[in-house]
Amino acid sequence: MSVTIATKFRSKCHVYGDHIDTDRIIPGKYTKTLDLSSLAAHVLEDLDPNFKNIVKVGDILVAGTNFGCGSSREQAPLALKKSGIAVVIAQDFARIFFRNAINIGLPVLELGAHDIQKGSELEIDLKEGIVKDLTASKIYTATKLPNIMIHILGEGGLVNYLKKHKNYSL
Partner 1 sequence: MGQTISEKIVSNHVGKKVYAGEVVVTEVDGVMATDTTAPLALKAFKEMGGNRVFDPNKFALIIDHAAPSPNERIANLHKLMRDFAKEQNSTLFEIGEGICHQIMVEKKYVKPGQIFIGADSHTPTYGALNAFACGVGSTDLAAVMLTGKIWLKVPHSIKIQCNGTLQKGVTAKDLILFLVGKVTVSGATYQAIEFCGEAFEGLSLSSRMTIANMSSEMGAKTGIVHPNGLQLDYDFVSTTPDKNANYIKSFEFDVSDLEPQVSAPESPDNVHNISNFEGTKIDYAFIGTCCNGRLEDLDIAAKILKGKKIHQDTRLIIAPASQSVLLDGISNGSIATLIEAGASLITSGCGPCVGTHQGVPADGEVVISAANRNFRGRMGNPNSNIYLGAPSTVAASALEGEITNPKKYLS
> What pairing do the DSSP bridges indicate for beta strands 60-63 and 8-15?
parallel
DSSP 111-145: -SS--PPTT-EEEEETTTTEEEETTTTEEEEPPPP
- Find the shortest distance in angstroms from Cβ 22 to partner 1: 8
Contact status: 28 vs partner 1 (CB under 8 A): yes
Contact status: 41 vs partner 1 (CB under 8 A): no
For residues 106-145, which are near partner 1 according to CB under 8 A?
Answer: none
Query: Among 8, 95, 118, 127, which residue interacts with partner 1 (rule: CB under 8 A)?
Result: 95
> What pairing do the DSSP bridges indicate for beta strands 87-90 and 138-141?
unpaired
CA distance 121 to 118: 9
How many residues sit close enough to partner 1 to count as binding (CB under 8 A)?
44
Provide the binding-site residues for partner 1, judged by CB under 8 A.
19, 21, 23-24, 27-29, 31-34, 46-47, 65-66, 69-75, 78, 92, 94-96, 99-100, 103-104, 146-148, 157-159, 162-163, 166-170
